[in-house]
A and B are shown apart, each in its own frame.
Chain A
Amino acid sequence: MTRTGRLTASFMNCAWIAAAVFAAAFGSAGPASAQTEIKIGVISTMSGPDAQPGDQMNKGIDLYYKEHQKDLPSGVKVTLIYRDDTGANPDVAKRLAQELVTRDHVNFLAGVVWSPNAAAIASIATEAKVPFIIMNAAGAAITRLSPYIIRDSFTLWLVSTPIGQWAAKQGWKKGYTAVTDYAPGFDAEGGFTKGFTDGGGTVVDKVRMPFPTDDYSPFIQRIKDSKPDVAFIFVPAGKKATAVMKAWSDLGLKQAGVTLVTTQDVMLDEELPNMGQVPLGIVSSGTYSNAATRAANQVFLNAWRNAYADKAVPDFLSVGGWDGMAAMFDVIKQTNGKFDGDQAMKILSNWKNPDSPRGPISIDPATRDIVENVYIRRVESVNGKLANVEFDTIPNVKDPWKEANPPK
């Protein structure tokens, strides 16, 4: 036999085996097809420089699936279909959503880290009447873009208004805001300013810092020179947050008598170890800290440790994924897996979970956005590790932006 001949023969063998396997798979699929299959199309970021937040969210989704698959009604099977939007790419996200709806016939669209992506997917959800569960994307107005959207994460208005109120309550009069020059930054700035001025404080100056900034000292120096009582800073999570903290400590603002307050994005649970001792004592507002002692959070943390050991630290993105899955599972359980988009939306818009890892949460039927506690946390050393320890709670916060800007 020639070399080519032998290759062809072995190729033929492979083909036979493949065919046999295929047939076996099909055979066994026979009885299983009597099952109801619910498909959840998850659009997330899994590659590229911005994959970290997507990974955090996906871990929360997978974990809920793994832990609660057993709670599904018998005969119902849930399939997760992941698609990678590679970052803040609305065009890609829209195409992926379209494919998930037309080709895979998903029953839910879910996930989405970036607000522009969520906004691009909204019209697909409306056209296809597929419920779209936003697990992170925090742009305030997004839930208004489609009646098929619910959001279980937060908005920056929701998170940053309470920290403004809290700062005013401390008796601080002069505030300063420094935010990154992009949409979430404006929301954070607006939220803090509203909370702080409603409580009697004045924002003496504000700065919007360009997105491509590595060295924050010029801005921090400006804050130092204007000597406010409190400075509110918001930058995207990750290394920008670490860079801000470095500049803050390098320039000695604490010693100069300026208090820094921020949101959970800057005091990200998994980034704390990269900041050294700098963040100790810094106060931030957030919807979730993995240092929370609630029983539901302990259950969540145990499951997390069993699944991922020390390889990852859960944060608000992970809990967003977890709770979003809980909402979808509740729809499936209540309907035995037989529902259309409108029926699912009726359940989702009234969904409540008194016992989420972040405390009681619910969806406001009027806005389809989340209502949840906002916690004021302080960075403390717990068992030798820095943690955001919750010490004050503002219960059941609704997105203040929507209340101030009713739909026309």
Chain B
Amino acid sequence: MDAALSAFISISFHGIAFAMVLYLVSVGLSVTMGLMGFVNLAHGVFAAAGGYFMTSLMTRYAVPFPLALAAATLAVALLAVPLERYLYRPLYGADELDQVLMTMGLVFMSVAVGKYFWGPLSQPFQPPAALSGQIDLGFRSFPTYRSFLIVSGAVMVTLLWLGLERTRFGAQIRAAVDNRRMAQSVGINTSQLFTLAFALGSGLAALGGGIGAEILAIDPGYALEHLVYFLIVVSVGGLGTIRGPFVAALLLGISDTGFKYLLPEFGAFFIYALTMAVLLWRPRGLFGQA
């Protein structure tokens, strides 16, 4: 019984920590896909860029972790603005195949660019001393950095939820997701809104890439390798929501960790079965609007 309880705690803990990284990276994708109807397979590129910027600042210029993370997030969000204007915008009206081809091309370019500038190895990331090692919570000890990930994820989901539900910008986004034409006709500048949402989504991805570098190592193949996870989170969660990807990331993180712990031989198989089951049951995802 004791062993079972300890296994349960381990699975939940590691699963939630993994889920937070998935959530931070994917939530931006859910918002931009829901808002613009744009199939952005290159979303992971922004996460990888955030990770690269952060680790470079930390290892080459000895910038402290919180500052490096903030700088990387901001830099990627700013970089996303011209990209949205000049690269993504012309394809908003295009059909999905064109969008997939264009963004897949971006992914392959990012692999080459990452390898050219940073080499083929993964980037070293050392969390600051205060966040490494273990913390003892009395009944058992937990890895500190993963605990930090869980707390950060919880804070971020609260902030995002408040931002979307309680601010004017959030209301505009919700309006545009629900009905873009109507939103335009009541005077919402959707063009500007798209740019802002895209920058926000990309910045969030960069934040997730940076903060999650401990779990999803930053290397040239990042955007391609983890694409499936990001897409599962978004499709299971449903497009255009904050809650959907959160629940989906938890489901994915915990079940992936749990199945790997309990039935390692079947390993990665279960999450795909689970994804299929959810999508058969709710084709638009758990929280997607019909």
Contacts and interface: CB of A to CB of B under 8 A. Distances in A.
A239 B14 contact: no
A332 to B, nearest CB: 33
Contacts of B6: 225
B134 to A, nearest CB: 5
A49 B111 contact: yes
B264 A215 contact: no
Contact of A213 (B14, B120, B146, B267): B267
Contacts of B217: 214, 239, 242-243
A222 B267 contact: no
A19 interface: no
A276 B268 contact: no
Interface of B: 3, 6-7, 10-11, 14, 17-18, 111, 115, 120-124, 126, 132-134, 141, 143, 145-146, 214-217, 219-221, 224-226, 257-258, 260-261, 264-265, 267-268
A360 interface: no
Nearest to B141: A252
Nearest to B266: A210
Interface string A263-286: 000000011011110000000000
Contacts of A249: 132
A250 B121 contact: no
A80 interface: no
Report the 8 A-B pairs with minimum CB-CB distance, sorted nearest first. A210-B267, A239-B122, A250-B143, A218-B261, A274-B124, A52-B120, A49-B221, A217-B14
Contacts of B143: 217, 250-252
B261 A222 contact: yes
A222 B221 CA distance: 29
A270 B261 contact: no
B214 A246 contact: yes
Interface in A202-230: 207-215, 217-219, 221-222, 225
A116 interface: no
A251 B144 CA distance: 9
Nearest to B257: A218
Contact of B121 (A210, A221, A270): A270
Nearest to B261: A218
A210 B120 contact: no
A215 B149 CA distance: 14
A225 B3 CA distance: 8
Interface string A25-69: 000000000000000000000000101100100000000000000
B121 A271 contact: yes
Contact of A49 (B120, B134, B267): B120
Interface string A242-266: 1100100111100100000000000
B113 to A, nearest CB: 13
Given A181-B265, A252-B143, A270-B121, 15 more contacts: A51-B115, A209-B264, A217-B10, A217-B14, A217-B17, A218-B260, A221-B10, A221-B14, A239-B217, A243-B217, A250-B143, A251-B143, A255-B134, A275-B124, A276-B126
B260 A213 contact: yes
Nearest to B258: A218
Contacts of A55: 120
Question: Most chain-A CB neighbours within 10 Å: which of B120, B143, B145, B268?
Answer: B120
A139 interface: no
Contact of B265 (A208, A218, A252): A208
A60 B122 CA distance: 22
Contacts of B134: 250-252, 255
Contacts of B124: 273-276
A208 B265 CA distance: 6
B260 A219 contact: yes
Contact of A51 (B120, B132, B216): B120
Nearest to B114: A49
A238 interface: yes
B223 to A, nearest CB: 11
8 contacts: A55-B120, A214-B215, A214-B226, A225-B3, A242-B122, A250-B143, A270-B121, A274-B122
B211 to A, nearest CB: 14
Contacts of A211: 268
Nearest to A268: B121
Contacts of A49: 111, 120, 219-221, 224-225
Contact of B260 (A210, A250, A252, A274): A210
Contacts of B132: 249-250
Given A225-B7, A250-B143, A250-B145, A214 B261 contact: no
B10 A225 contact: yes
Contacts of B265: 181, 208
B264 A210 contact: yes
A238 B143 CA distance: 23
A215 B121 contact: no
A210 B261 contact: no
B121 A52 contact: yes
B70 to A, nearest CB: 23
